[in-house]
Amino acid sequence: MGMVGVEGRSGWQRLPDLVTATRPGLGLVSGLAVATGHGALGGWMYLAGFLSDVADGLLARRLGVQSEAGTVNDGRADVAFHALVGAGLVIAAVREQQWWVLAVLAALLAGGPLVRPWVAVHTVVGKAIGGAYRVIIFSTFVAFAEPSQRVPLIIGGLVVLCTTYVYEARVTLAELRSGERTMR
């Protein structure tokens, strides 16, 4: 599949870019929800943001519009999304005195620079680490959800995470076999 520049896209070809552009907004809503005591809503919005991350790549591949610019924008959207989500989780953790959440977030934040010299983000190992990161972050939302909302949130999270990870694993392995993706 060839790479297409963002500026050469029209109509449906811009759809992956539009999906990517929603991610920071979803991060803002997720972060604000958990920060204001609506942990389940924050968790659902986190899952929506994760789905947008998978969907933009799927659409770009299906439409044949993968590009370096799209990859860069996807990375920037991911950083903005997780920064906004993280800020909301920090506020919720302090408000609820859930110090373990701050410890988990600090470990995830500190772990990135420690791993980066050995593992690139867009590699097989990098994708696996990113997947584990998302499971951990999602789990913190469950702690902030009302008890009556936890089971539906957990079930929804399992469905979304398992479905997307099966898809992502298939794509990642195909890219590994074709040489488009390296191991680490």
pLDDT in tens, 134-171: 999 999 999 999 999 999 999 999 999 999 999 999 99
Residues whose CB is less than 8 angstroms from the CB of residue 2 and which lie 6 or more positions away in sequence, other chains included: 64
Residue 25 lies in a domain: yes
Beta strand extents in 26-147 (DSSP E only): none
Identify the pLDDT of residue 71.
Answer: 87
pLDDT averaged over the chain? Answer: 91
Q: What angle do CA 157, 87, 114 make, to 5 degrees?
A: 85
In a domain, 184, yes or no: no
DSSP 122: T
What is the rounded average pLDDT of the residues 47-56?
95
> What single letter denotes the amino acid at residue 143?
A
Q: What is the CATH number of the domain that holds 46?
A: 1.20.120
Asked whether residue 94 is domain-assigned, the answer is: yes
Q: Which residues are within 8 A (CB) of 134 and not within 5 positions of it... i.e. 6 or more apart?
A: 50, 161
Residue 2 lies in a domain: no
For residue 131, give both structure tokens.
């997947």
Residue 83 within a domain: yes
Q: For residue 15, is it within any domain?
A: yes
Work out the pLDDT band at 132, boundaries 50, 70, 90. very high
Query: What integer pLDDT is reported at residue 74 of this predicted model?
Result: 92
| List of long-range contacts for 160-166, beta carbons under 8 Å, 24+ apart | 160/47, 160/50, 160/51, 161/47, 161/50, 161/134, 161/135, 164/50, 164/51, 164/54, 165/131
* Spatial separation of the C-alpha atoms in residues 81 and 66, rounded to whole Å: 21
pLDDT tens string 77-128: 999 999 999 999 999 999 999 999 999 999 999 988 888 888 887 788 888 8
Q: Is the pLDDT of residue 4 over 70?
A: no
Domain count, the chain: 1
Query: Residue 2's pLDDT is what?
Result: 40
Question: What domain range is 50 assigned to?
Answer: 7-178
The pLDDT, as a whole number, for residue 79 is 93
At residue 7, does pLDDT exceed 80?
A: no
In this structure, is residue 171 part of a structural domain?
A: yes
Per-residue model confidence (pLDDT) at position 109: 92
Q: What is the pLDDT of residue 181?
A: 83
